[in-house]
Amino acid sequence: MIAEVIVDISTSEIDKIFDYIAPPELNVSVGDRVKVPFGRQFTEGFVVCLKETSDCKHPLKPIRSKLDRFTAILPEMIELMHRMCREYNLRLVDVLRLFVPAMMRGGRVKEITRHFVTLSDGVTFETALSSLKPNAVNQRAVLSVLSGGGEWAAILGEQYGFSAIAALAEKGLVTVSEVTKRRKPNVKAVADKAVTLNDEQTAAVNAILNGDKDVNLLFGVTGSGKTEIYLSCIEQMLSAGKTAIMLVPEISLTPQMMGRFRARFGDKVAVLHSGLSDGERYDEWLRLLRGEAVIAIGARSAVFAPLKNVGIIIIDEEHDSSYVSENNPRYVTSEVAEMRRAYNGAKLVLGSATPALETFKRARDGEIGLITLRNRVGGVKMPEVKVVDMCLELRSGNNGILSSELVDRLDATLKEGNQSMIFLNRRGFASFMICKKCGKVMKCDDCDVSLTWHKEDNLLKCHYCGRPYVVPDKCPACGESDMRLGRVGTERVIEEIKRRFPAARTLRMDRDTTRKKGSYDEILSAFRMGEADILVGTQMIVKGHDFPNVTLVGILDADMSLYYEDYHSAERTFQLVTQMSGRAGRADKEGVVVLQTYSPRHYVFAYARVNDYEGFYKKEINIRDVTGFPPFTKIVRVLTTSEDEERALGLTKEMLAKVRAYQKEHPDRFVAVAGMKSPVKKIENKYRYQIIMRLTREKEADTLLAVYDIVNEQDKKNASVFVEINPQNMN
Ligand code: ADP
Ligand code: ZN
């Protein structure tokens, strides 16, 4: 038998499939990890196919050994690997690595097994004892321990010597078996409320499981009971003998969330997320592979859970940007989920209160089903949203971070003994330019996206068409000379709050305060326990946290995300405001949201204020259509990085020339093509250059393949080139 093996070495030259002899005594199967000779040494590899003959001209070498006691890669995943490689132009081995726990490679993590000793079947204490010599004191002692049940070999051995156990085993009186000791992530079940689904929820479950569409968008505000729907769908799938994958953004994988699943499904749930130790991750993964656990819950990478017979895949908060992997290998979680869904004939659910525009369009076009939940469970009201014009504040003499409206409400909330959350969007710190007086933001004339300041050459540039603009010395709209580059930090907000309310207890949550393992949960639980009055934070505080005492939410500088140099800006801002609003007034208390902006009349806020997603959708989709942005086009970025700047630049120029030649042949397939330095010119000492193109839907799959060909045929020595589709960020 010949085995096709992908060796576990990631370079473009070696990303091929190699033939090896599979010695019959090894009993190799497709999906096994094996040790193979490669060059002058041995390396690990994955068997992806078995066949009778090889076309290879050189004599083949045999596989040396198998690495695991189980087959690590399911047949489904091998097919998935091929599809992902085609779709995203990835290396085979990079995709395979997604399918197994990282530390398993190189044998850096193993199962912990321990030896357990019992009396052999059919042997009683008395018969065993009578067959021993009277002077075999230790063996007798071991038997007497075992007469009361089994014991760990380590404990017996320490006390009576391992030779005693060996001697008894030799005589067949005792049996030593291997028992796996599982490392268990610490997930506490929360009390499972026995809820009876309401009519809307029952109809939703029914539509998901029995409707005519296999893919459904579950569109419902926070608190409308989506999670209960997920739980119920999974329950029914399990009764039908199938398995389930539940995906949640990393940041929403809170103890509460996981606790609800643990409460309902107990040990049938395995969790996969970055907070686990290597051992825990490996053991959870193995439980899934062996079918001991049948529900995988986790962040993005749990879409690769080694489950057979998947019945349902759920992607909660489907619009979340964390579902798009930004590092190599790049993939889009919902697309991978769709591949697995199709393979298994399963159901796919995309849940969100603020679906990605693209997803909502698919639902409106009838490509996928649309299930709408109109109400919050128990009739909890959405909070009132107050939009504060920060230009007016400025004119009336307040040039601080907090508007007088927000200060007054903070004061009142403190006096009532309720809690407040203040959100600051630091993601928006890419420096756009805004007029302090009239709020005008510098934008590209051609693309309708805000310009980004490039410090090095002191120019404003459009990240979509590459067009440069001179930095204005005064506002082109009103003549004000105070144009600023926006950026405030959470620390400054805390300072300001302390100055105004010295007695208020504050907590800060951002990348700096959550570096230590567990600190994220600690801050959240401290706030939940009422140890602070005001929580100030970035993106991290936005999602899925249910704090019943929060009645005030402040959103500072909502424009920051609005004028981020990204065509998603309006969409992101809408999602953010809606989700932040969802944090106020969850239980019996009504909430208020104070939203500070320099563009109070922007349509995003008009729709977000009244929670009108569909109104926003209609407006925004129209803009995308007119300006030629996704989902009406595809943005493709070819990113070249190298420690040698000349090399990165040269390679980019060569590829750009080829793309332009192709564009000449097919002008109808492109909206724009541009080559430029990346906004962040150097990361980790590697220079970055990029080609950005916008493709029309006209034969877009062919165009994409042509781009892949251009990239693949290039000699990429001393450089890396990656192709990204609709990148989430353009740094
Ligand atoms: P979402 O996931 O849409 O935010 P959840 O499923 O978490 O909504 O529901 C919000 C709250 O309402 C939860 O505390 C949940 O237990 C409760 N809930 C959901 N459905 C019902 C129901 N049918 N009856 C009673 N309580 C419910
Ligand atoms: Zn101005």
641 and 620 share one domain:
no
Among 193, 227, 543, which is best to mutate for testing ligand 1, by the most ligand atoms less than 8 A from CB?
Answer: 227
Does the beta carbon of 624 lie inside 6 Å of ligand 1? no
Q: Are residues 641 and 648 in contact, defined by beta-carbon separation less than 8 angstroms?
A: yes
pLDDT at 731: 63
The beta strands (E) that lie in 92-242 are given as 112-119, 151-152, 174-181, 215-220
CA distances from 37 to 13, 43, 459, 677 (A): 17, 6, 54, 42
Type of residue numbered 168? L
454 part of a folded domain: no
Give the span between the Cα atoms of 554 and 577, in whole angstroms: 10
231 and 370 share one domain:
yes
Query: Which one of the ligands is nearest to 433 CA?
Result: 2
Does the beta carbon of 226 lie inside 6 Å of ligand 1? yes
410 and 364 share one domain:
no
440 part of a folded domain: no
Q: Distance from CA of residue 72 to its chain's centroid?
A: 23
238 part of a folded domain: yes
The HSE-up count of residue 560 (CA atoms within 13 Å, CB side) is 24
Does the beta carbon of 587 lie inside 6 Å of ligand 1? no
Strand-pairing partners, residue 154, are: none
Does the beta carbon of 197 lie inside 6 Å of ligand 1? yes
Q: Which domain holds residue 322?
A: 199-378
365 and 331 share one domain:
yes
Task: Choose the final residue of a domain: 73, 107, 141.
Answer: 107
pLDDT at 241: 97
pLDDT at 456: 60
To the nearest 10°, report the CA torsion of 610, 616, 619, 622: -170
603 and 718 share one domain:
no
Does the beta carbon of 198 lie inside 6 Å of ligand 1? yes
CATH number at residue 53: 3.40.1440.60
Confidence (pTM): 0.84
731 part of a folded domain: no
37 and 100 share one domain:
yes
508 and 373 share one domain:
no
Give the span between the Cα atoms of 633 and 631, in whole angstroms: 5
Q: What are phi and psi of 267, to 5 degrees?
A: -75, -5
Nearest ligand 1 atom to the CA of 260 is 16
129 part of a folded domain: yes
Task: Choose the final residue of a domain: 181, 207, 226.
Answer: 181
Type of residue numbered 173? L
CATH number at residue 402: 3.40.50.300
Give the span between the Cα atoms of 35 and 332, in whole angstroms: 31
Mean pLDDT by 10 residues, the chain (731 residues): 92 82 96 94 95 92 95 97 94 94 82 84 86 87 86 87 90 86 75 84 97 97 90 97 95 80 93 86 94 96 97 96 85 97 98 96 97 84 88 80 94 95 66 77 74 72 76 86 67 85 91 75 88 89 76 84 70 88 74 90 91 95 91 92 92 95 95 80 78 91 94 88 82 63
Does the beta carbon of 201 lie inside 6 Å of ligand 1? yes
247 and 337 share one domain:
yes
pLDDT at 430: 46
30 and 147 share one domain:
no
338 part of a folded domain: yes
Residue 384 Cα, ligand 1 centroid: separation in angstroms? 21
34 part of a folded domain: yes
Give the span between the Cα atoms of 675 and 621, in whole angstroms: 27
389 and 519 share one domain:
yes
Query: Which one of the ligands is nearest to 391 CA?
Result: 2
565 part of a folded domain: yes
CATH number at residue 716: 3.30.70.600
Give the span between the Cα atoms of 219 and 234, in whole angstroms: 18
157 and 239 share one domain:
no
233 and 372 share one domain:
yes
Number of structural domains in the chain? 5
Q: What is the DSSP string of 77-114?
A: HHHHHHHHHHHHT--HHHHHHHHS-GGGGGG-S--EEE
Task: Choose the final residue of a domain: 107, 128, 148.
Answer: 107
